[in-house]
Amino acid sequence: MAEALRQQADTVRRLKEEKASPEEIAEQVAKLLDMKAAICPEEGKHKFVLKTPKGTRDYSPKQMAIREKVFSIIINCFKRHGAETIDTPVFELKETLTGKYGEDSKLIYDLKDQGGELLSLRYDLTVPFARYLAMNKISNIKRYHIAKVYRRDNPAMTRGRYREFYQCDFDIAGQYDPMIPDAECLKIVHEILSALSLGDFLIKVNDRRILDGMFAVCGVPGSKFRTICSTVDKLDKMSWEDVKSEMVGEKGLSPEVADRIGEYVRLHGGLRLIEELLQDPKLSQNKLAREGLGDMKLLFEYLILFGISAQMSFDLSLARGLDYYTGVIYEAVLTQPQNDHTEESAGVGSVAGGGRYDGLVGMFDPKGRKVPCVGVSIGIERIFSIMEQKAEASEEKIRTTETQVLVASAQKKLLEERLKLVSELWDSGIKAEMLYKKNPKLLNQLQYCEET
């Protein structure tokens, strides 16, 4: 058999050297593989690599229990504020997603052409929501949507960054008086982060119009507003010196313009800062900045009425890189690690973000009909990371089932009685279990109760 195998291998080599037809080579290779498999069956088997794809993960029952608890807190909050829910396909037409995410568009997963339609996996839930509104001619709705999204990002699993992850979005669409829906979105973020007990947090607030006005008075060319915006957005991760060198070196701004931007983007405060900027000799001359500051003043007055202004900071460095924002933007960050065991959670970063996007629905509407929208996305994966670390550090036992009763027996030959009884409990809506043995030992039954 070994001799036959060697001859067959020589035949394949000879055919390759002679550049025989691919069909003939394939036939002889198949014959060689069959002979190898007959000699050592194990070798012919394909060895699987057991792992999840990069940037994804499985969830154990314990992790799912934490997940369900977090979802329930968030959904209850959304419902308390009168929201209804929708769902959209996990993939959209490629053209629906293209050009909506600025520099992040390169992170969209494109699917292979499966016969006629070029498709991409959804990158967030906001653009599909805008498409849904335009397609169904809806001009006002308050909705929440919890679903998975996909980004071809460099994953940092310990910090809650994945390629497949959940987003929890709440949005208010419709024509309303200024800043009332925007203030409610910030109240929702405040309620959720307080209910989850993640530690101290700060919600940074800014406005795209203030940013654009600031860029204009500092001398940034109009064509560079968005790309400079993306750079300013890195100020929470990089020093001002690094941000400035990116603006000058990569984005081609003059150092003087970058320094003028630097004077503004390092400012943060509350109502008093807004009032000071309204008197700023340069900013107050810019129509966009004046509008943005006027609305920001109104927003902070509403936040004071809601009793949440202590956790709010008007922060001129907040830019949020997405192209579709047109007005108020905000981002919630944790300001302290939860405890000594979880140094990672200090670096978890943003745990919620959102803003106003008044032009997005109009991009999809055939008549360009605009539907003003404002919304917030809760950074659910980062919150899970912190909650999991907290659970591990505290070593508290997490129940993964909700069983209330175990139907047990101390004697043999009581299977029929156990089956009848457990059925009666189920029919009465009681969560019950029994062990799947005819005559289980009493000790095993008691141990099962302990463990679950």
pLDDT of residue 340: 44
Strands (E), 59-139: 84-85, 91-93, 119-121
Tell me the pLDDT of the chain (452 aa) as tens digits. 778 888 888 998 898 888 888 778 888 888 888 888 777 766 556 677 899 998 899 999 999 999 999 999 999 999 999 999 999 999 999 999 987 777 678 889 999 887 789 999 999 999 999 999 999 999 999 999 999 999 988 777 666 678 999 999 999 999 999 999 999 999 999 999 999 999 999 999 999 999 999 999 998 888 888 888 888 888 878 888 899 999 999 888 888 989 988 888 888 888 899 999 999 888 889 999 999 999 999 999 999 999 999 999 999 989 876 678 899 999 999 987 544 444 443 445 789 999 999 999 999 988 889 999 999 999 898 899 889 888 888 878 889 999 999 999 999 999 999 999 999 999 999 999 999 999 999 999 999 999 88
Q: Are 97 and 127 in contact (CB under 8 A)?
A: yes
* Total-model pTM: 0.81
| Cα radius of gyration rounded to whole Å, the chain | 30
Q: Are strands 405-406 and 432-433 parallel, antiparallel or unpaired?
A: parallel
Could you tell me which residues are beta bridge partners of residue 378?
Answer: 168, 352
Helix (H) or strand (E) holding 194: helix 180-196
Which amino acid, residue 248?
Answer: V
Write out the two tokens for 54: 């990069």
Task: Please report the pLDDT score of residue 358 as a whole number.
Answer: 94
Burial 70-79 (b: 16+ CB within 10 A, else e): beeebeebbe
In DSSP terms, 149 is beta-bridged to 165
User: pLDDT value at position 346?
Assistant: 41
Task: Supply the pLDDT for residue 98.
Answer: 83
Closest C-alpha among 370, 392, 389 to residue 381: 389
Residue (of 292, 372, 290, 375) closest to 327 by Cα position? 292
157, amino acid identity: M
> Which tokens go with 80?
């308390």
Query: What is residue 160's predicted lDDT score, i.e. its pLDDT?
Result: 65
Phi and psi, residue 35, nearest 5°: -65, -40
